[in-house]
């Protein structure tokens, strides 16, 4: 059995990775009862992903608390959703692009602007960059290239997802599911509207993944092969 | 590509709910409740419907000072997709709204549909604007001036900036071809705004480069090129990016041209106004020969393309993009233990 400290080190948080809730779970507040044992098991899985949550102009949002709780729920549901694929959503790091530096990106006007945001910003690590914007115009809640690129400095291929978590739009659970849905597109899974229980159907509150979809995800280069596995 | 707002608004699958009932629910939501949940989705439902006088419902939201700013902004953008004359009038009077977020939406919408009266109205308010709203107002002005072919109202020509061109043998080819059957219909039906141009359906060009693909939609007026482009500014066309997951298209770039001396300057802007490519075109007999290069900015990659425009038909002779050479910007880490 590995210690919590060893888990911190193994996922790149070092000895000063913060508290268990903020550092190891990557949450501001717990959206539900959390199990440290389960999270440690997630990080020991063969297949894991790490996330970078990048907020756009959240410094202008008053009160900010509801949006932060939406993000917590999105991370929590993503963990739950990817558990069924045997993939551990492990390290989650948090960032902000403050309003003064965000240009026109907090309010995305279309997929081209979303791709441009992913082209302009990135975090230097092996996590998937997930941008949280305040509004996304048009008929969709977010966007991702499918499959997303693993080379953050590569040409063209977008290396992130963009999801709206606005002050006004939907209930928190729908935003959270949109986050997992776009993440799944990034990991190479196409839209799948024929199964209304599937995460990739444009349906409310459905989070199932099929065997073939799990296979697609496991083929994606952003899946980290873990060396902390206990045999 | 994503959870669709219309489906999000209607809990049951779409086929079980005729559009009329969803629209009815959307209108009820807009009239009775300006707060969460899903009122933003109701606006999208209404905007994408053919409901007559939907601009009246959208106007009510836009002018409601008690509604959240981003909801009002969404109403402004939705107006750009409703009946044009009525929308112009509503958007013109919304220029006096004293909320920067709402005004940003109004400027974007006016850029898509505005005409001569809206151009005058924007010019009136520009001196009092700051920051992003001013940038969006200038871009709206640029778009309308190009659409109307008016050189006298164009903002100053932007500085050229440093250009990024792929090195020899390090670029990756961009493949182009005449659009296949179905592509034109899909591109035209799924693009939310065509920026007031009439697309020449015979001249649509498809492109693909690694993971990216899309279509270039040309203005029907270009059939009169090169004379037209040599004489006045023009909205040459749009680049609509294809979403591989859904197959839908979304307008990403607007292609503009203006005469400069004996040549023609071509600029390609993102839909938020950021200029990403620039180049020149020269008249050669009955045709125009053009080149485009990428402009240096964070995360940009080198790009070079050249080709011919003749009889309204675009031919891309060469197009290649190189590996990214410009550093991306870095977001600032935050500590969740700090109070918000």
What would the mean pLDDT of A162-188 be, rounded to a whole number? 85
Given A107, A177, A190, which is nearest B245 (Cβ)? A190
B1 pLDDT band, cuts 50/70/90, is: very low
Q: Cβ contacts of residue B185 below 8 Å, gap of 6+?
A: none
3-state secondary structure chain B: CCCEHHHHHCCCCHHHCCHHHHHHHHHHHHHHCCCCCCHHHHHHHHHCCCCCCHHHHHHHHHCCCCCCHHHHHHHHHHHCCCCHHHHHHHHHHHHHCCCHHHHHHHHHHHHHHCCHHHHHHHHHHHHHCCHHHHHHHHHHHHHHHHHHCCCCCCCCCCCCCCEECCCCCCCEECEEEECCCCHHHHHHHHCCCCCCCCECHHHCEEEEECCEEEEEEEEHHHHHCCHHHHHCCEEEEEEEEECCCCCCEEEEEEEEEEEECCEEEEEEEECCCCEEEEEEEEEECCEEEEEEEEECCCCCCCEEEEEEEECCEEEEEEEEECCCCCCCECCEECCCCCCC
Pairs of residues, one from chain A and one from chain B, whose beta carbons lie less than 8 Å apart: 219
Q: What is the pLDDT of residues B200-220, one digit of tens each?
A: 988 899 988 777 789 999 999
Which of B36-50, B192-206, B221-235, B281-295 has the least mean pLDDT?
B36-50
Q: What is the pLDDT of residues A121-164, one digit of tens each?
A: 999 999 999 999 999 988 788 888 888 888 887 655 567 999 99
- Among residues B270, B325, B275, B271, the alpha carbon closest in space to that of B298 is found at B325
Cβ neighbours of A152 in B, within 8 Å: 328
CB contact under 8 A, A134 and B74: no
> In this prediction, what percent of chain A has a pLDDT beyond 90?
55
Instruction: Specify which of A42-46, B140-144, B222-226 reaches the highest per-range mean pLDDT.
Output: B140-144
What would the mean pLDDT of B248-266 be, rounded to a whole number? 91
Q: Using the predicted structure, report yes or no on whether residue A167 has a pLDDT greater than 80.
A: no
Q: What is the pLDDT of residues B145-187, one digit of tens each?
A: 999 999 888 877 666 678 888 776 656 777 888 888 788 888 8
| Interface predicted TM-score (ipTM) of this complex, two decimals | 0.90
Higher-pLDDT residue of B188, A15: B188
In chain B, residues 51-90 whose CB comes closer than 8 Å to chain A: 68, 70-71, 73-74, 77
Given B274, B322, B337, which is nearest A155 (Cβ)? B322
B140 pLDDT band, cuts 50/70/90, is: very high
Q: What is the pLDDT of residues A89-124, one digit of tens each?
A: 999 999 999 999 999 999 999 989 999 999 899 999
In chain B, residues 100-139 whose CB comes closer than 8 Å to chain A: 101, 104-105, 108, 132, 135-136
Token representation of residue A230: 């206990």
What integer best gives the mean pLDDT of chain B?
85
What would the mean pLDDT of A65-91 be, rounded to a whole number? 94
d(CA A46, CA A87): 8
Q: Which residues of A206-219 are buried (b: 16+ CB within 10 A; e: fewer)?
A: ebebbeebbebbee
Cβ neighbours of B321 in A, within 8 Å: 155-156
Which of B15-19, B80-84, B172-176 has the least mean pLDDT?
B15-19
Residue of B nearest to A100 (CA): B131
pTM for the full predicted model: 0.91
What stretches of chain A show up as alpha helix (H) in DSSP? 4-10, 36-43, 65-83, 99-102, 111-120, 172-186, 211-218
Whether the CB of A120 is below 8 Å from some CB of chain B: the reply is yes
Domain residue ranges of chain A, discontinuous segments joined by +: 47-224
Task: Give the Cα-Cα-Cα angle B132, B137, B141 (nearest 5 degrees).
Answer: 150
CB contact under 8 A, B328 and A112: no
Domain residue ranges of chain B, discontinuous segments joined by +: 10-148, 163-321
CB contact under 8 A, B11 and A144: no
Query: CB atoms < 10 A from the CB of A75, how many?
Result: 24
Measured in angstroms, the CA of A213 and the nearest CA of chain B are apart by: 13
Classify residue A118 as exposed, middle or buried by CB count within 10 Å of its CB (0-12, 13-18, 19+). buried
Residues making up chain B, counted from first to last: 340
CB contact under 8 A, A109 and B271: yes
Query: CB atoms < 10 A from the CB of A150, how many?
Result: 14
In chain A, residues 170-229 whose CB comes closer than 8 Å to chain B: 170-171, 174, 177-178, 181-182, 185, 190-191, 196, 202-204
Whether the CB of B308 is below 8 Å from some CB of chain A: the reply is no
B20 pLDDT band, cuts 50/70/90, is: low
Token representation of residue A55: 């907020």
CB contact under 8 A, B272 and A104: yes
Q: What is the pLDDT of residues A193-219, one digit of tens each?
A: 788 888 988 776 678 999 999 999 999
CB contact under 8 A, A168 and B71: yes
CB contact under 8 A, A171 and B37: yes
d(CA B9, CA B29): 10
Cβ neighbours of A110 in B, within 8 Å: 192, 250-252, 271
Higher-pLDDT residue of A180, A3: A180
Q: What is the pLDDT of residues A8-19, one digit of tens each?
A: 888 888 776 678
Instruction: Specify which of B27-36, B142-151, B257-266 reaches the highest per-range mean pLDDT.
Output: B142-151
Structural domain A47-224, CATH architecture: 3-Layer(aba) Sandwich (3.40)
Fold assignment, B10-148: 1.25.10
Whether the CB of B48 is below 8 Å from some CB of chain A: the reply is yes
């Amino acid at each position: 059995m590995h210690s919590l400290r060893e888990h911190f080190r193994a996922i790149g948080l070092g000895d000063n990775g913060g508290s268990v809730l903020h550092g190891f779970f990557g949450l501001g507040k717990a959206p539900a009862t959390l199990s440290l044992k389960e999270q440690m098991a997630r990080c020991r899985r063969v297949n894991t992903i790490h996330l970078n949550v990048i907020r756009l102009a959240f410094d202008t949002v008053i009160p900010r608390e509801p949006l932060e709780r939406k993000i917590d729920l999105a991370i929590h549901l993503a963990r739950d959703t990817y558990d069924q694929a045997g993939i551990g959503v492990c390290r989650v790091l948090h960032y902000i692009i403050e309003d003064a530096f965000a240009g026109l990106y907090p309010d995305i006007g279309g997929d081209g602007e979303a791709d441009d945001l992913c082209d302009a910003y990135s975090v230097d690590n092996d996590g998937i960059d997930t941008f949280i914007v305040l509004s996304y115009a048009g008929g969709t809640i977010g966007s991702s290239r499918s499959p997303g690129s693993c080379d953050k400095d590569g040409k063209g291929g977008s290396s992130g997802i963009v999801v709206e978590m606005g002050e006004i739009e939907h209930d928190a659970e729908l935003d959270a599911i949109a986050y997992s849905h776009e993440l799944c597109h990034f990991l190479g899974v196409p839209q799948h509207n024929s199964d209304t229980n599937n995460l990739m159907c444009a349906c409310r509150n459905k989070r199932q993944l099929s065997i073939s979809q799990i296979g697609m995800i496991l083929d994606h280069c952003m899946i980290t092969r873990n060396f902390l596995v206990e045999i | 590509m994503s959870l669709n707002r219309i489906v999000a608004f209607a809990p049951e699958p779409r086929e079980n709910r005729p559009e009329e009932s969803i629209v009815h629910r959307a209108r009820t939501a807009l009239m009775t409740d300006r707060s969460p949940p899903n009122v933003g989705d109701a606006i999208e439902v209404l905007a994408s419907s053919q409901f007559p006088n939907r601009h009246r419902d959208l106007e009510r939201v836009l002018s409601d000072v008690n509604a959240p700013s981003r909801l009002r902004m969404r109403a402004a953008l939705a107006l750009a997709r409703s009946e044009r004359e009525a929308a112009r009038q509503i958007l013109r009077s919304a220029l006096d709204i004293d909320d920067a977020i709402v005004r940003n939406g109004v400027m974007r919408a006016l850029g898509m549909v505005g005409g001569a009266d809206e151009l005058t109205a924007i010019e009136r308010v520009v001196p009092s604007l700051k920051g992003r709203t001013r940038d969006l107002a200038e871009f709206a002005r640029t778009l309308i001036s190009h659409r109307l072919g008016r050189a006298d109202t164009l903002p100053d020509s932007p500085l050229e900036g440093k250009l990024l061109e792929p090195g020899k043998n390090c670029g990756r080819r961009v493949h182009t071809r005449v659009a296949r059957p179905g592509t034109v219909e899909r591109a035209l039906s799924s693009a939310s705004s065509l920026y007031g141009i009439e697309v020449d359906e015979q001249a649509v060009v498809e492109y693909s480069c690694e993971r990216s693909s899309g279509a270039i939609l040309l203005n029907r007026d270009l059939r009169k090129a090169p004379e037209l482009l040599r004489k006045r500014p023009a909205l040459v066309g749009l680049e609509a990016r294809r979403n591989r997951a859904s197959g839908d298209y979304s307008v990403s770039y607007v292609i503009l041209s203006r005469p400069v001396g004996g040549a023609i300057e071509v600029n390609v802007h993102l839909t938020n106004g950021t200029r990403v490519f620039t180049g020149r075109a020269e008249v050669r007999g009955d045709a125009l020969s053009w080149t485009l290069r990428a402009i240096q900015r964070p995360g940009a990659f080198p790009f070079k393309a050249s080709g011919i425009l003749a009889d309204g038909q675009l031919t891309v002779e060469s197009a290649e993009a190189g590996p990214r050479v410009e550093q991306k910007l870095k977001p600032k880490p935050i500590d969740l233990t700090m109070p918000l």
